């Protein structure tokens, strides 16, 4: 489809990880549906995933080489999913700054760019966009809840107060929210945070504040209080355009990595009338072998049917486990189409690390969550899921601390509660309501549909 000369031309630059790239590819589809011209910047190793996801569309993909010979980084790694450890995250994110000259060459060669939407992590792209007079929007893959809570925590220096990591902290603007210092990862959870990670976050928030706007993968009906807080108190304006995962139906036919084995297994479970718990902890989580063994026992003892995606290589399960549970449980080790699994009629619960995409996808599929946050802002997402929007329950740790070890008994108890208990019923009802609201938000005439149109109109008027 040839675009008219005045069609908006939107350039997208996702950060190099699955969780940051997938929602941007959904956004690309939404923009294409509105007859925009879409160009996506990527690095060569991430190109195949992007082109497979956007097969049969008119999106253009432009490769920008990833810097080589960065001391701390293994060569050839162009995605945080492939880093041997997340301790290399900051060197990786800082290495992306070397892409700047190539980004600028590419921007120079493109004509009539309406705006650049780049990941919040790619703060250096603001300078390049500004050089060419292009408005930059920063995309963020988290909730307003987490964004606003983090702002409150920073402004009020809440983490410097408590004596212990589990002391209750009240958030001034949202006094019903009770946090713990333990809800924050290193290096944020100390009295005087400093170091390269803090510098990276500071650079990011300064660049975001100077950008044209923020793109948020959420919807108004889910967290309007927090959206209002942001847009009344903070800069720049945030545009709420999600859930982006509803931009397209999960379609197994289009996914080259689709594996029919588990789809058939889910069909069989549906025919048997056995509700299935989907178990997955995202693309980044690092789980100790001891904790992994405990998960296996908890799932086995819960007696519920489960589909468990074990992503990290080296995550060995005890001998005989898979054989013993095979009538009831299946372990999958490859990349799956998570939305297709969540959308399968027999899937009635999601044991999740609460990555924001997973939370959105679960809500859209009307599947309640059993929250087990691991890292990054997942602890805040888990609080939101369980305490604020009440679409999930939380696993029990053995010492009651949010970062405690989860013993099989605590897991089994909460799995059964989610799948069969009264509390499970409550959160199932709530997630159904939000799932419905999510669908309406994205439909023609819905809140997110309007917001995206307004954004495009406003950007077009600037040209």
Site residues for ligand UDP per CB under 6 A? 18-19, 22, 175-176, 225, 282-284, 309, 335-339, 355-358, 361, 388
Smallest gap from Cβ 19 to ligand UDP, in A, equals 2
The residue (of 103 and 158) whose beta carbon lies closer to ligand UDP is: 158
| Of residues 302 and 357, the one with the C-beta less far from ligand UDP | 357
For ligand UDP, the closer of residues 42 and 284 by Cβ is 284
Q: In angstroms, what is the minimal distance from the CB of 461 to ligand UDP?
A: 33
Helix axes 289-302, 408-420, angle to 10 degrees: 40
Q: How far is the CB of 211 from ligand UDP (least distance, A)?
A: 22
- Per 3-state DSSP, the chain is made up of helix, strand and coil in percentages (nearest 5) of 50, 15, 40
Read off the tokens for 152. 């409150």
Of 122 and 129, which CB lies nearer to ligand UDP in the complex structure? 122
Least distance to ligand UDP, CB of residue 196, Å: 21
Closer Cβ to ligand UDP, 66 or 356, answer by number: 356
Tokens of 18: 């699955």
Smallest gap from residue 366 Cβ to ligand UDP (A): 16
Helix (H) or strand (E) holding 360: helix 356-364
In the bound complex, what is the minimum distance in angstroms from residue 23's beta carbon to ligand UDP? Answer: 7
- Measured from the CB atom, the residue of 229 and 408 that comes closer to ligand UDP is 229
336 DSSP 8-state letter:
-
d(Cα 108, Cα 99) in Å, to the nearest integer? Answer: 14
Q: Which is nearer to ligand UDP, 252 or 454 (CB)?
A: 252
At its nearest, how many Å lie between ligand UDP and the CB of residue 151? Answer: 17
Q: Is residue 117 a contact partner of residue 140, using CB atoms and an 8 Å limit?
A: no
Within 8 A by CB and 6+ apart from 395, the residues are 351, 370, 371, 372, 406, 410, 411, 414
**Shortest Cβ 363–ligand UDP spacing (Å):** 12
Is 36 or 364 the residue whose CB approaches ligand UDP more closely?
Answer: 364
Nearer of residues 152 and 388 to ligand UDP, judged by Cβ:
388
* Residue closer to ligand UDP (CB basis): 42 or 338: 338
- Contacts of 264 by beta carbon, 8 Å cutoff, 6+ apart: none
- Kindly report the number of other CB atoms within 10 A of residue 34's CB atom: 15
Number of alpha carbons in the 13 Å side-chain half-sphere of residue 137: 24
Quote the crossing angle between the two packed helices 356-364 and 18-33, to the nearest 10°: 50
Return d(Cα 273, Cα 276) in angstroms, integer.
9
Distance between CA atoms of residues 254 and 257, nearest Å: 9
Closest CA to 23 of 53, 45, 46: 53
Burial of 91 (0-12, 13-18, 19+ CB in 10 A): middle
CB 349: neighbour CB atoms within 10 A? 27
Smaller CB separation from ligand UDP, 339 or 412: 339
Residue 441 CB, nearest approach to ligand UDP (Å): 18
Q: Measured between alpha carbons, how far is 50 from 423 in angstroms, rounded to an integer? A: 40
- Give the shortest CB-454-to-ligand UDP separation in angstroms: 26
State in angstroms the smallest separation of the CB of 258 from ligand UDP.
11
* Cβ at position 215, least distance to ligand UDP in Å: 15
Burial of 83 (0-12, 13-18, 19+ CB in 10 A): middle
Instruction: Copy the structure tokens of residue 321.
Output: 């486990």
Cβ–Cβ contacts within 10 Å for residue 139, how many? 26
Nearest one of 434, 278, 267 to 342, comparing CA atoms = 278
Measured from the CB atom, the residue of 167 and 334 that comes closer to ligand UDP is 334
Q: How far apart are CA 25 and CA 5, in angstroms?
A: 23
Contact 5, 85 (CB under 8 A): no
DSSP 179: E
């Amino acid at each position: 489809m040839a675009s008219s000369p005045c069609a908006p031309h939107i350039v997208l630059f996702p950060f190099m990880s699955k969780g940051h790239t997938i929602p941007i590819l959904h956004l690309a589809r939404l923009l294409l549906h509105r007859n925009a011209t879409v160009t996506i910047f990527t690095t060569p190793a991430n190109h195949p995933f992007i082109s497979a996801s956007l097969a049969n569309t008119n999106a253009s993909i432009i490769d920008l080489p990833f810097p080589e010979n960065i001391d701390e980084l293994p060569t050839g790694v162009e995605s945080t999913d492939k880093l041997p450890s997340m301790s290399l995250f900051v060197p990786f994110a800082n290495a992306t700054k070397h892409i700047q000259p190539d980004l600028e060459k590419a921007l120079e060669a493109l004509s009539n760019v309406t705006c650049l939407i780049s990941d919040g992590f790619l703060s250096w792209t603001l300078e390049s966009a500004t050089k060419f007079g292009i408005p930059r929007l920063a995309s963020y893959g988290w909730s307003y809840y987490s964004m606003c809570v983090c702002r409150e925590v920073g402004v009020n220096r809440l983490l410097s107060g408590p004596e212990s990591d589990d002391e209750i902290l009240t958030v001034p603007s949202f006094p019903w929210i009770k946090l713990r210092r333990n809800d924050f990862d290193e290096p944020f959870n100390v009295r005087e945070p400093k170091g390269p990670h803090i510098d990276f976050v500071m650079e990011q928030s300064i660049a975001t504040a100077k950008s044209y706007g923020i793109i948020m993968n959420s919807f108004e009906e889910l967290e309007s209080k927090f959206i209002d807080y942001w847009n009344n108190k903070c800069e720049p304006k945030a545009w709420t355009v999600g859930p982006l995962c509803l931009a397209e139906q999960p379609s197994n036919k289009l996914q080259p990595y689709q594996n029919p084995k588990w789809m058939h297994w889910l069909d069989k479970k549906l025919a048997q009338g056995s509700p299935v718990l989907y178990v997955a902890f995202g693309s980044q989580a690092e789980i100790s072998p001891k904790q992994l063994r405990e998960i296996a026992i908890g799932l086995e003892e819960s007696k519920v049917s489960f589909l468990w995606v074990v992503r990290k290589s080296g995550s060995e399960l005890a001998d005989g486990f898979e054989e013993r549970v095979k009538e009831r449980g299946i372990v999958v080790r490859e990349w799956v189409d998570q939305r297709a699994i969540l959308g399968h009629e027999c899937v009635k619960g999601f044991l999740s690390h609460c990555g924001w995409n997973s939370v959105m996808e679960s809500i859209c599929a009307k599947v309640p969550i059993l929250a087990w946050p691991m890292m990054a802002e997942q602890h805040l997402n888990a609080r939101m899921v369980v305490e604020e929007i009440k679409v999930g329950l939380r696993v029990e740790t053995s010492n009651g601390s949010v970062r405690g070890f989860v013993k099989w008994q605590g897991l089994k108890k909460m799995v059964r509660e989610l799948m069969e208990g009264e509390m499970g019923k409550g959160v199932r009802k709530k997630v159904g309501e939000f799932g419905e609201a999510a669908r309406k938000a994205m439909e023609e005439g819905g809140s997110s549909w309007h917001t995206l149109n307004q954004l495009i109109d406003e950007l077009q008027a600037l040209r």
